[in-house]
Amino acid sequence: MTRNFSKSKKRRLRLRSKLALENIKEMLNRAFLEGYRCNIERSIILGRQARRLSKATGVKIPWYFKFFFCKKCKRFLIPGKTMRIRIRNRRESHITITCLLCGSIKRVPLRHR
């Protein structure tokens, strides 16, 4: 769907999504900090808020954060605390990410580049 926005509205929308992205990044960085300070609950809440903001504004969460969200329970995971990472060499080499809160496993293949 194409809409004809005036120039100022376009600029405002771009500014809005830029601000949203900055907020999302800041929230997730804070979620990591809280997680490493053992405030698991608070980091999960921050992760949820970031996801909500991303959904409400239509701004995507940066790709490098997607490994830290459980695909099943959608909670934010802290490496070494609520998330287990292992390298597997069976079949194709891959990394398995286990959510210790609900037990779901995510596989990330390692491809040669």
Would you tell me which residues interact with Zn ion (CB under 5 A)? Answer: 70, 72-73, 99, 101-102, 104
Minimum distance of Zn ion from residue 68's CB (angstroms) = 11
Give the H or E element holding residue 109: strand 105-109
Look at residues 92, 113, 96 and name the one whose alpha carbon lies nearest to residue 105: 96
Nearer to Zn ion, 27 or 47 (CB): 47
Least distance to Zn ion, CB of residue 49, Å: 18
Cα distances (Å, whole numbers) of residue 58 to 2, 25, 47, 80: 16, 14, 16, 31
Between 27 and 69, CB nearer to Zn ion:
69
CB of 75 to Zn ion, least distance (A): 6
Measured from the CB atom, is 59 or 77 closer to Zn ion? 77
Nearest distance in Å: CB 99, Zn ion: 3
Strand 83-88 to 105-109 pairing: unpaired
DSSP alpha helices (H): ranges in 1-113?
7-36, 40-57
Cβ neighbour number for residue 28 with a 10 Å cutoff: 23
